[in-house]
């Protein structure tokens, strides 16, 4: 017997309709390029989103054509998040920090027909415009006009909306498995690869994200995604917030700690999210002047994208009474995979042990399954055995766009993450490294992440990356690359003794190099590929 539940399709139009019916009064706040605040409500957002969908419908696009965005987090980008998929085409968010070469590659590969671009990003066009085939480019600007400095032929986003009548919008019925959005991996490990998200995948991801043991979003929350909307759907927060009716604060192009702290305090943000680099900056600013900002409303700072060091989680709590929620995910997992909320059995642990658990990546969300594949079968969930993390679930990609890299999928339908993890009893996942960053020294594995986190726990160290350098004898050995805190000093020997408190001698770096900065990926993560290249002929002087 089949269940006779109604065949209701899980689609983004249903989330938009919910926002319209129930949350019209809720506010969406955007920090504009001139730093002033733009405010409107979900009712306004839905009206303009309908206009966008109607206007796109008039441009001769075919079903599932791609419409790209190059934009910061803003109300117009939110309109694109819903208006593009609600007109039957695919929202393709593009990361402006990619190289011109990768940008041209992505436009070409995705065959984008239309681009919506922020006025603040127009200079990027020069580097790839002639190599791509766009039918229309619409400029999103604060005053609605196309700046004089823009190349010829660009059109205004506001004029596009003006040309449409929202009363012509009808909520469409899509198949929930149709693509709603797509995003390319940021290419840390090679050419970017396209990941497509179905309507169903985004709806289920939003529902799971809202559950209390994941992000726990509610109508009464005010959410500020610092993670950019061009980076894996800003971790799905704009969708989850619209579904729950949470108020949204969009930081626009201003990602400096001071502007972010102003937003958090003035707009009484309750939940924010971003990569560790952003929060290192915020922590430094708060340490300088702990009483400058009233953050009493902020109950969760979701940190992910790379490991949130235990020292950072501790510093936020102990010095500023702020709670870090550590999360792990990937472009391929929409992106939420695991979130670290302490389960009841951890209540008995000491404070120190709780911090150690909080620094793990946490427990998989509902319907997400994990396993770690070691050299000799699946690793036991003992918190020590390591293997490559494999995942499956309703918002884990089943293939890359145009079927690239099929080897990333197992025969039984799991996605191979390329992350090396151990799993503790109860399913707490701890990411030890990325496969390619793991240091293989004389048959032993050394986790670069653990060394980095312990280096960053030293109060003179602002940032640290540990990479493998070639070794004739051991095959690879670790090298520490460290940026010092402003005005602080420490010697290599001091850092080595600091590490030796926790790490066996054979796993300590062969040397520590002090640098002014660590190169970063487009998403703000350490670009270890560049460091490995920089230090490929390195031999320690000592």
Q: What's the closest the beta carbon of residue 254 comes to ligand ADP, in angstroms?
A: 22
According to the binding rule CB under 6 A, does residue 330 interact with ligand ADP?
yes
Q: Which one of residues 120, 306, 334, 341 is an interface residue with ligand ADP (CB under 6 A)?
A: 306
Q: What's the closest the beta carbon of residue 276 comes to ligand ADP, in angstroms?
A: 8
CA distance 283 to 291: 13
Residue closer to ligand ADP, measured from CB, 176 or 463: 463
Q: Which one of residues 51, 199, 326, 528 is an interface residue with ligand ADP (CB under 6 A)?
A: 326
By rule CB under 6 A, what count of residues binds ligand ADP? 24
Burial 93-117 (b: 16+ CB within 10 A, else e): bbbbbbeeebbbbbbebbebbbbbb
Residue closer to ligand ADP, measured from CB, 78 or 431: 431
CA distance 409 to 398: 7
CA distance 174 to 486: 54
According to the binding rule CB under 6 A, does residue 360 interact with ligand ADP?
no
Residue closer to ligand ADP, measured from CB, 136 or 371: 371
3-state secondary structure of 222: strand
DSSP string, 451-492: HHHHHHTSTTEEEEEEEEEEETTTEEEEEEEEEEPTT----H
According to the binding rule CB under 6 A, does residue 361 interact with ligand ADP?
yes
According to the binding rule CB under 6 A, does residue 226 interact with ligand ADP?
no
Q: How many helices (H) and strands (E) does the chain have?
A: 16, 26
According to the binding rule CB under 6 A, does residue 307 interact with ligand ADP?
yes
According to the binding rule CB under 6 A, does residue 312 interact with ligand ADP?
no
Q: Which one of residues 49, 95, 188, 448 is an interface residue with ligand ADP (CB under 6 A)?
A: 188
Which stretches of 140-231 are DSSP H helices? 157-162, 199-210
Residue closer to ligand ADP, measured from CB, 76 or 422: 422
Q: What's the closest the beta carbon of residue 241 comes to ligand ADP, in angstroms?
A: 20
Q: Treating both helix axes as pointing N-terminal to C-terminal, what angle do 237-244 and 75-83 enclose, rounded to 10 degrees?
A: 80
Q: What's the closest the beta carbon of residue 188 comes to ligand ADP, in angstroms?
A: 4
Q: Considering only CA atoms, which of 90, 77, 76, 16 is closest in space to residue 46?
A: 16
Q: What's the closest the beta carbon of residue 185 comes to ligand ADP, in angstroms?
A: 4
Q: Which of residues 229-258 bind ligand ADP (CB under 6 A)?
A: 232
According to the binding rule CB under 6 A, does residue 304 interact with ligand ADP?
yes
Q: Which of residues 387-426 bind ligand ADP (CB under 6 A)?
A: 417-419
89 within 8 A of 97, measured Cβ to Cβ: no
Residue closer to ligand ADP, measured from CB, 107 or 328: 328
3-state secondary structure of 140: strand
Q: What's the closest the beta carbon of residue 528 comes to ligand ADP, in angstroms?
A: 10
Report the DSSP beta bridge partners of residue 92.
68, 182
Report the DSSP beta bridge partners of residue 512.
480
Span from 41-49, 95-103, 105-113, 185-193 in contact with ligand ADP (CB under 6 A):
185-193
Q: Considering only CA atoms, which of 495, 330, 440 is closest in space to residue 396?
A: 330
Span from 92-100, 162-170, 237-245, 300-308 in contact with ligand ADP (CB under 6 A):
300-308
CA distance 289 to 11: 45
Q: Which one of residues 11, 76, 222, 331 is an interface residue with ligand ADP (CB under 6 A)?
A: 331
Q: Which of residues 432-451 bind ligand ADP (CB under 6 A)?
A: 434
Cα–Cα distance list, 251 to 28, 94, 274, 288 (Å): 11, 18, 12, 22
Which stretches of 92-156 are DSSP H helices? 100-110, 125-128
Q: What's the closest the beta carbon of residue 449 comes to ligand ADP, in angstroms?
A: 7
Residue 500: how many CA atoms within 13 Å on its side-chain side? 9
Residue closer to ligand ADP, measured from CB, 142 or 306: 306
* 43 burial level (CB within 10 Å; 0-12, 13-18, 19+): middle
Q: What's the closest the beta carbon of residue 329 comes to ligand ADP, in angstroms?
A: 6
Residue 487 CA, distance from chain mean position: 31
Q: Which one of residues 88, 96, 305, 364 is an interface residue with ligand ADP (CB under 6 A)?
A: 305
Span from 7-15, 107-115, 279-287, 328-336 in contact with ligand ADP (CB under 6 A):
328-336
Going by C-beta distance under 8 Å and a sequence separation of 6 or more, which residues neighbour residue 153? 137
Residues designated catalytic: 185, 332, 440, 445
Q: Which of residues 484-523 bind ligand ADP (CB under 6 A)?
A: 521, 523
According to the binding rule CB under 6 A, does residue 453 interact with ligand ADP?
no
Q: What's the closest the beta carbon of residue 178 comes to ligand ADP, in angstroms?
A: 23
Q: Which one of residues 293, 328, 409, 414 is an interface residue with ligand ADP (CB under 6 A)?
A: 328
Which stretches of 231-273 are DSSP H helices? 232-235, 237-244, 257-266
The total number of residues shown for the chain amounts to 542
Residue closer to ligand ADP, measured from CB, 161 or 302: 302
What does the binding site for ligand ADP look like in residue numbers (CB under 6 A)?
185-188, 232, 304-307, 326-331, 361, 417-419, 431, 434, 521, 523, 525
């Amino acid at each position: 017997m089949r269940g006779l539940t109604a065949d209701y399709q899980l689609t983004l139009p249903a989330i938009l309709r919910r926002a319209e019916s129930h949350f019209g009064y809720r506010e969406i706040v955007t920090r504009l390029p001139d730093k002033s605040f733009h405010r409107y409500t979900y009712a306004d957002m839905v009206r303009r989103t309908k206009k966008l969908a109607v206007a796109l419908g008039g441009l001769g696009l075919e079903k599932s054509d791609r419409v790209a965005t190059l934009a910061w987090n803003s109300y117009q980008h939110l309109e694109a998040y819903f208006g593009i998929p609600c007109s039957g085409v695919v929202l393709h968010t593009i990361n402006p920090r990619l190289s011109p070469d990768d940008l041209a590659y992505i436009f070409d590969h995705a065959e984008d027909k239309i681009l919506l671009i922020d006025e603040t990003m127009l200079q990027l066009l020069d580097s790839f415009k002639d190599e791509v085939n766009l039918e229309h480019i619409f400029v999103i600007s604060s005053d609605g006009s196309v700046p004089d400095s823009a190349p010829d032929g660009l059109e205004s986003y506001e004029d596009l909306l003006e040309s449409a009548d929202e009363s012509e919008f009808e909520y469409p019925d899509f198949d929930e498995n149709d693509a709603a959005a797509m995003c390319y991996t940021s290419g840390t490990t090679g050419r970017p690869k396209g990941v497509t998200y179905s309507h169903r995948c985004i709806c289920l991801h939003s529902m799971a994200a809202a559950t209390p043991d994941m992000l726990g979003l509610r109508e009464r929350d005010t959410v500020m995604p610092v993670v950019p909307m061009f980076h894996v759907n800003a971790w799905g927060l704009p969708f989850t917030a619209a579904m729950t009716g949470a108020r949204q604060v969009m930081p626009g192009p201003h990602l400096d700690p001071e502007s972010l702290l102003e937003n958090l305090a003035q707009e009484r943000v309750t939940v924010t999210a971003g990569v560790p680099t952003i929060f290192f900056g915020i922590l430094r600013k708060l340490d300088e002047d702990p009483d400058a900002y009233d953050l009493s409303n902020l109950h969760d700072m979701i940190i992910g994208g790379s490991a949130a060091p235990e020292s950072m989680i501790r510093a936020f709590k102990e010095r500023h009474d702020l709670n870090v929620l550590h999360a792990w995910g990937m472009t391929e997992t929409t992106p939420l995979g695991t979130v670290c909320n302490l389960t009841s059995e951890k209540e008995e642990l000491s404070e120190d042990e709780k911090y150690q658990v909080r620094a793990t990546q946490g427990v998989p969300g509902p319907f997400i399954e994990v396993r770690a594949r070691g050299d000799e079968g699946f690793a036991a969930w003992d918190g020590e055995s390591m293997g490559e993390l494999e995942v499956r679930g309703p918002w884990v990609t089943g293939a890359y766009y145009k079927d690239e890299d099929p080897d990333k999928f197992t025969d039984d339908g799991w996605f191979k993450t390329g992350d090396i993890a151990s799993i503790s009893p109860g399913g707490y996942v701890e990411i030890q490294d990325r496969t390619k960053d793991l240091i293989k020294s004389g048959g032993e594995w050394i986790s670069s992440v653990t060394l980095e986190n312990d280096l960053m726990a030293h109060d003179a160290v602002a940032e640290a990356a540990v990479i493998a350098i070639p070794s004739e004898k051991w095959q690879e050995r670790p090298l520490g690359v460290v940026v010092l805190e402003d005005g602080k000093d420490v010697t290599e020997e001091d850092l080595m003794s600091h590490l030796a408190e926790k790490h066996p001698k054979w796993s300590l770096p062969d040397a520590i190099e002090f640098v002014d900065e660590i190169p970063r990926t487009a998403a703000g993560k350490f670009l270890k590929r560049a460091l490995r290249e920089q230090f490929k002929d390195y031999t320690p002087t000592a």
